[in-house]
């Protein structure tokens, strides 16, 4: 199998724009660290999320969790809950990637070839496959 294309496309740039808008809605009264995510499913639907903090750390939600929740709530089958591409954006000295828990959540609904773009406010800075970010993912699925 060939390596999936990590090249930026029109769809990638649309996800960046939506993730940046989602970031602006983040509820972060404690850390002030805004994160936005936009994901596209295999069927082409797009879902966004932002981080949501809570005074009782760590009860908040990561932006990826929020976007995945929106995806599940809107899912109607036929690839509508299979993540194909995702952009995570935050203002930071270097582009961030999903945390370990979110990598595992993305794995639940993605494939090793799922593309994850890491962006800052200047745009997409680096791209990865899920397999590259989570090479030894936990999996309960039975071997066939």
Q: For residue 108, indicate whether it is catalytic.
A: no
DSSP codes, 53-92: --SSTT-SB-HHHHHHHHHHHH--STTTT-EEEEEEEE-S
68: left (phi over 0), alpha (psi -120 to 50) or beta: alpha
Partners of 89 in the beta sheet?
36, 119
Catalytic entry in 3, 53, 59, 64 = 64
Tell me the catalytic residues.
64
């Amino acid at each position: 199998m060939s390596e999936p294309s990590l090249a930026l496309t029109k769809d990638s740039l649309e996800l960046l724009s939506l993730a940046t808008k989602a970031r602006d809605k983040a509820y972060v009264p404690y850390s002030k660290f805004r994160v936005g995510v936009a994901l596209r499913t295999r069927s082409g639907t797009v879902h966004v999320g932002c981080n949501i903090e809570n005074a009782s750390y760590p009860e908040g939600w990561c932006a990826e969790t929020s976007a995945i929740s929106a995806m599940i709530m809107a899912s109607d089958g036929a690839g509508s809950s299979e993540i194909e591409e995702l952009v995570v954006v935050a203002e930071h000295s270097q582009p961030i990637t999903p945390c370990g828990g979110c990598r595992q959540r993305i794995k639940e609904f993605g494939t090793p070839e799922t593309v994850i773009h890491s962006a800052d406010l200047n745009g997409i800075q680096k791209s990865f496959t899920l397999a590259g970010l989570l090479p030894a993912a936990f999996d309960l699925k039975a071997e066939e």
